[in-house]
Structure 1
Amino acid sequence: MLNDLAEKFERASRTYADANGIARDADWFLLKLQEEIGELTQAWNRVSGRGRRKGRSDEQLARDLADEAADVLGHILLFAHRNDLDLAAAIKRKWLFQPERG
């Protein structure tokens, strides 16, 4: 499951990077993840009343939060894929369940 999802994010990211002339070197994966965590934090600040809403409705803010969480998930998987990390094994060690089995 995680490997399949990581492959889908990899294809989408590679396509986007190629279309926009972005070099995805080793540093890019971690820097992009950090950027996306910042955007998730910003979305959370808006939802929780700690940031300007910028005229966005509650529904738009909730959608923004979900979108940014999805970006963080994607970039975690991209980082792991790029660095040949076995997230399933790490989850089993750290969280004591096997994610590949649901």
Structure 2
Amino acid sequence: MLRRLADQFEISSAAHVAANGIERDADWFLLKLQEEMGELTQAWNRLTGRGRAKGRSPEEMRRDLADETADLLGHLLLFARSNDIDLAAAIERKWLFQPAEAPKS
């Protein structure tokens, strides 16, 4: 399930970088994770009153938080994919449980 999701993020990311002339080298994946974590932190700070709301409503700030969380997850999956990390196996080993499989259709 995680690998399939990572593959979907890869398709989207590859199209985005190609359209914008961005080169993804080995460092790019880690640097993007850091960037996205910063954006998630900024969204959290706004939502919790620790940063400027910049005219955003509470609903918009919650949506921003969700969007930045999605970006962080996507870039984490891209990082794992680019480094050939089996996240499901790592989760099972580190967290001592098996990630749920996608429902069979």
Q: TM over 0.5, yes or no? A: yes
**Unaligned residue ranges in structure 1 (runs of 5+):** none
Aligned sequence identity (%): 71
Query: Could you tell me whether the CA contact under 8 Å between 1:88 and 1:100 is conserved in 2?
Result: no
Structure 2 residue 61 is matched with structure 1 residue 76: no
What's the CA shift for 1:100?
4.4
The structure where helix makes up a greater share of residues is 1
What residue is the counterpart of 1:63 in the other structure?
A: 63
**Unaligned residue ranges in structure 2 (runs of 5+):** none
Count of residue pairs brought into register by the alignment: 102
Query: Could you tell me whether the CA contact under 8 Å between 1:2 and 1:100 is conserved in 2?
Result: no
Q: 1: CA distance between counterparts of 2:101 and 2:11? A: 24
TM-score, length of structure 1 as denominator length: 0.97
TM-score, length of structure 2 as denominator length: 0.94
Query: Could you tell me whether the CA contact under 8 Å between 1:92 and 1:99 is conserved in 2?
Result: yes
Query: Could you tell me whether the CA contact under 8 Å between 1:43 and 1:65 is conserved in 2?
Result: yes
Structure 2 residue 87 is matched with structure 1 residue 87: yes
Q: 2: CA distance between counterparts of 1:23 and 1:75? A: 15
Q: CA RMSD in A?
A: 0.9
Runs of 4+ that moved beyond 3 A: none
